[in-house]
Amino acid sequence: MTEQRWLGPAQQNRRYFTLGTGETFIPIGQNFCFHRLADQLGEEEVLATYRHWLGAFAAQGGNFTRIWLGVPFFNVMPERLGEFSERNLGHIRAVVAMAEEFGVKIKFTVEHFRSVQPPAQPVAETFPGVISFLQPLFSPERGGSCRSMAEFFGSDAGRAAYLAKLRYLAAAGLGETPAVVAWELWNEINSTGELAIWREWSDQMLAALHEIFPRQLALQNLGSFSGSTAYRCYDYLGALAGTDFLQVHRYLDPGAELDICRGPMDVLCADAIGQLRRRCSDKPAVLAEGGAVEANHARYSRLYEKDREGTLLHDVLFAPFFAGSAGSGQCWHWDHLYLDKHDLYWHFGRFARAVAGVDPIAEDFQPYYTETHALRVYGLRGRRMDLLWCRDKASDWRSELDEDRPAADLRGLSVPVDDASSCQAYAPWTDSEEELVLRHGRSALLPPFRRSLVLRVRH
């Protein structure tokens, strides 16, 4: 990490982040990318909603979020190429000011559209106000010269239009606030076409991001790791020198090609981090989008209506970190569809308490995994302590939300621990702590709990 950056990989253990002050930073993250109903509301109401979201999130220890800059409310080039909107820039500045106030770091996603042609089908119900991944601005009718995504990525005109937006945002001072720590080139760029049409463009634009925003991180982003084609795309991402950390999207998806995406949420999230770590072991790895959808991402999951306790969110938050991620997983569906609807912000507070006082860099954590008859155990081995997350095998979205079987109280269980001098348990679902009885320093007798338990094992 260069000293001038506000956030970057640590020199001592490059799988984790440090701030410019040298302090370890564990991202406790959540997507708040856009307001789905922004086109139906006034700007004051939209900004008031952002204040509510960010305030409730930060009050529970949330410290990292993602905002899309290509949606109508934030798009600074909304009508014609080269014509900028001070009003929409004001919307961005307002959200940045909120982030500064609440102590939340922002990753901006510069663009997300997938076509320069009108959509063949109506806008999906989950994406009103997001132009359904369409951006007609680059067509000849709007001052551009691109009739396809290949032309956009491959032409001087397309690159010039993208760079003009970056330079306008930089001139507005968005590269000069430590509340903004990262810039992401594109949301799920592999959804725009084959790797061949955007590979060279990614290399060039990542270099441009580093030049235009030298104090912030530059990233590329791919779609859900749920099918056979994802392997090659993520091989590319793992080898991409210009991206400052690795991120992955993965959802519980009943239509997914990969079996793992139809199983327990903790397993699919942990494996997503494992996929990144196997491709590149010396950069931070983050689950940047996680959640549940109907088959093949047709819409948000029907499970959300039943998940009033937030079992899906819990696993999205905890599993990635204990599988070796630099921070919590970052959930999608943040608004009236799930997180805000059920007032689930308290889950961020439980994750924050689970990792409070833990320094992954000083511990030089190395992830490992084991199982007992009843539990999946995701562990981080450190110099002075180990951190374990124990997850009930018998309780998951299928048993609780599909079959309406409440999670059982688990009693009389133990887990193996190595050379322990003491062990403390934290139960996220009851927000309670307890010192545990050790058996010859080799195993810990667990207190009664539901769903999951976090252990701090001191050597």
The Cα 360–Cα 355 span in angstroms is 9
Query: What is the dihedral sign for C-alpha 330, 332, 335, 337?
Result: negative
- pLDDT at position 389: 98
Domain ranges of the chain: 7-359, 366-458
Model pTM above 0.85: yes
Are 295 and 303 in contact by the 8 Å Cβ rule? The answer is no
- Give pLDDT tens digits for 51-86: 999 999 999 999 999 999 999 999 999 888 889 999
Mean pLDDT within 368-389: 97
Q: pLDDT-derived band of residue 278, with 50, 70 and 90 as boundaries?
A: very high
DSSP 449: B
Are 396 and 301 in contact by the 8 Å Cβ rule? The answer is no
Planar angle of CA 31, 369, 385, nearest 5 degrees: 85
May I ask the CATH architecture of the domain 366-458?
Sandwich (2.60)
Planar angle of CA 419, 424, 430, nearest 5 degrees: 150
Mean pLDDT within 323-338: 97
- Give pLDDT tens digits for 90-102: 999 999 999 999 9
CATH superfamily for domain 7-359: Glycosidases (3.20.20.80)
pLDDT above 60 (res 448): yes
Q: What one-character-per-residue DSSP string does 295-350 give? A: GGGSSB-THHHH-TT-HHHHHHHHHHHHTT-SS---BS--STTTTTTTT-THHHHH
Q: The tokens 């900004």 sit on which residue?
A: 47
- pLDDT at position 1: 39
Burial (0-12, 13-18, 19+ Cβ within 10 Å), 94: middle
